[in-house]
Chain A
């Protein structure tokens, strides 16, 4: 496999509803903004193909929407493929784009994602998403993702003593970060009290612990070393790729042993039954793969910034553990100590994450990738219009994309060459 670089990113401002623009126009906006970032050096003629990500055909009520995007942005008759993997759709798209360059098939590829969730009311949107859980066994009892994640964190609270305040602190952190991100949907300077007093949606998850439905698009352009040198002054290398999966029904997951990262010992988890429903085994497996490829032995020491999939404040806390930022059971303490804040040892979700940026599913993983790319390029001040969220001297970072209850997870490492 040959080296692959990110050379440009583009995002639309995520919004609750963007009725004036359809998905094609939103993607074109993100695509044009990525091309503009290269100062006009790269034109669509030099792009060899695309990977297009969107989650649900129900929102668009249009099959083959990917073909319409390819057509609208002017990439026909070049090849393209659609990727779908629930909430991890964007992360899977990015990794598929990486593969198309790493394999030598393409020199330059466009990874383009979108979702237009404002087409239906929020309860119907939750229903569309709930159809990504088992429709014979889980959905018919009233199962939906807020409920599933609530049950997962209730078990985490039981196993490890995690508290509602601890995951509420993550909601506070991410919303306050987003106040400085012009692309974010919910720019709210929330306090711990605001989060704790917001209404229960699925106990113990409250309104501000849960991300919002969104309309948006994001694009990343990836290139071989030769093409990156030709088109971009400040490319960022993709140094690690990892992915994992888990049982579709979380009730089916084993109660076995923790797959260990290099800095963990078997004795750390003598009595822990894993993953059960308290942890995301796919996230752990994805991290192991990406760390091995990038040569990371201790993620807290070896990484400078992380953008991870916080559809729920609780799942960010659980993901700290899957990624090995702390041991299983110590996610609550990790946020209590402020380790993942902008001023902490390892800033997590400086963008505001899904909680505040919004989660237009197919765009989300690519939004994270574009944001991390800018962090490592140190061009956040240029793109956000202020330097508040630029992590100083960021050299190596991680993006994490996650599908419902942890059925698919991708972990990707980017670094400044």
Chain B
């Protein structure tokens, strides 16, 4: 005798946070094939232990965080190697973070300024206690031995004064 068609029963239940109003756990995850596109040379640079900025040949403006076009004249910029030593322009110590970085707290973020360069660069400062961090203190770039191919391949430490 033919049986009625039916869906198979589930093997594992759904996580329920609350019954009324009914609140269940749903999950969302995605892998991207993320290209750095025109900024690729910057990330290649990090893997070679170099920090690359860009400068506008027409305006002479120097960007510490690279932009392939000048924000003033719109013309194309050229890559150049930034000094590996700069100064702390501003900073904070994070005791809470976005979920992805919660396991790393506390950590220190710094905006680094470089002599003769017009804009700043955001990075981590490692190995300095909060009470010892001062605006204007010298910091030098360090690079990870094994590249992650992200901006996390560079970080800063205190430089000798």
A184-229, CB < 8 A from B: 199-205
Select A203's contact among B71, B92, B101, B119, beta carbons within 8 Å: B92
Instruction: Tell me whether B94 and A151 are in contact (CB under 8 A).
Output: no
List chain A residues, Cβ under 8 A from B18: 19
- Contact A277:B122 (CB < 8 A) given known A126-B99, A137-B65, A142-B94: no
B81 in contact (CB, < 8 A):
no
Cβ of A2 under 8 Å from chain B: no
A19 to B91, CA, bound (A): 38
Q: Does A249 contact B (CB under 8 A)?
A: yes
The answer to whether A251 touches B152, judged by C-beta atoms less than 8 angstroms apart, is no
Size of the B side of the interface (Cβ < 8 Å), in residues, is 44
Q: Is the CB of B71 within 8 A of A247?
A: yes
B94-113 interface mask toward A, CB cutoff 8 Å, 1 = contact, 0 = none?
11111111101001011100
A143 touching B109, Cβ below 8 Å? yes
Evaluate contact between A141 and B123: CB separation under 8 angstroms: yes
Among the listed stretches A91-99, A152-160, A161-169, which one makes contact with chain B, having 4 or more residues with CB under 8 Å of it?
Answer: A152-160
CB of B150 within 8 Å of the partner chain: yes
Distance in angstroms between the alpha carbons of A136 and B23 in the assembled complex: 34
Partner of B124, one of A141, A200, A255: A141
Residue ID in chain B nearest A207 by CB atoms: B96
Q: A127-B100, A277-B111 are in contact. Are A61 and B28 (CB under 8 A)?
A: yes
* Pairwise interchain contact A144-B90, C-beta atoms closer than 8 A: no
Please give the distance in Å from A49's CB to the nearest CB on chain B. 32
Proximity bits, A109-148, B CB within 8 Å = 1, else 0? 0000000000001011011001000001111111110110
Contact between A203 and B90 (Cβ–Cβ < 8 Å)?
no
Q: Which residues of B contact A138 (CB under 8 A)?
A: 122
| B99 engages A154 (CB within 8 Å) | no
CB-CB under 8 A for A20 and B65, given A136-B36, A150-B92, A249-B122: no
Are A20's CB and B99's CB within 8 A?
no
In the complex, residue of chain B having the shortest beta-carbon distance to the beta carbon of A139? B98
The majority secondary structure among interface residues of chain A is: mixed
A142-B109, A155-B135, A252-B119 are contacts. A147–B67 as well, Cβ < 8 Å? no
Q: A253 near B: Cβ within 8 Å?
A: yes
* B122 and A201 contact, CB distance less than 8 A: no
Q: How far is the CA of A254 from the CA of B61 in the complex (A)?
A: 10
Which of B99, B119, B155 neighbours the largest number of chain A CB atoms within 10 Å of its CB? B99
Secondary structure call for the B interface: mixed
| In the bound complex, CA of A253 to CA of B110 (Å) | 15
Given contacts A200-B93, A203-B130, A252-B67, contact A19 B21 (CB under 8 A): yes
**Which residues in A have their C-beta under 8 angstroms from that of B123?**
141
- Given the known interface contacts A158-B90, A251-B121, the answer about A61 and B26 at a Cβ–Cβ threshold of 8 Å is yes
Contact A123–B152 (Cβ < 8 Å): no
Contacts of B110 in A (CB 8 A): 151
B62: shortest Cβ distance to chain A, in Å? Answer: 12
Interface centre among B39, B90, B97, B150 (most CB of A within 10 A): B90
| Beta-carbon contact of A140 and B98 below 8 Å | no
Chain A residues 268-292 with CB under 8 Å of chain B are 277
State whether A255 and B99 are in contact (beta carbons under 8 Å apart), knowing that A136-B39, A155-B89, A247-B71 are contacts in the complex.
no
Chain A residues 241-273 with CB under 8 Å of chain B are 247, 249-255
- The smallest C-beta distance from B54 to any residue of chain A, in angstroms, reads 11
Chain A positions within 8 Å of B155 at CB level: 141
When chains A and B are docked, how far (Å) is the Cα of A141 from the Cα of B98? 11
Q: Provide the bound-state CA to CA distance between A255 and B32, in Å.
A: 36
- State the CA gap A204–B110 with chains docked (Å): 14
> Are A137 and B122 closer than 8 Å at their CB atoms?
yes
Nearest 5 Cβ contacts at the A-B interface: A150-B92, A127-B98, A251-B120, A123-B99, A155-B90
Chain A residues engaging chain B, CB cutoff 8 angstroms = 19-20, 61, 121, 123-124, 126-127, 130, 136-144, 146-147, 150-152, 154-155, 158, 199-205, 247, 249-255, 277
Further pairs besides A155-B135, A202-B93, A251-B65: 14, Cβ < 8 Å: A123-B97, A123-B102, A126-B97, A126-B99, A146-B96, A147-B92, A155-B111, A201-B96, A203-B93, A251-B111, A251-B119, A252-B67, A277-B90, A277-B120
Cross-chain pairs A/B with CB under 8 angstroms, 9 sampled: A61-B28, A121-B99, A140-B150, A142-B101, A142-B104, A142-B107, A151-B109, A158-B90, A247-B71
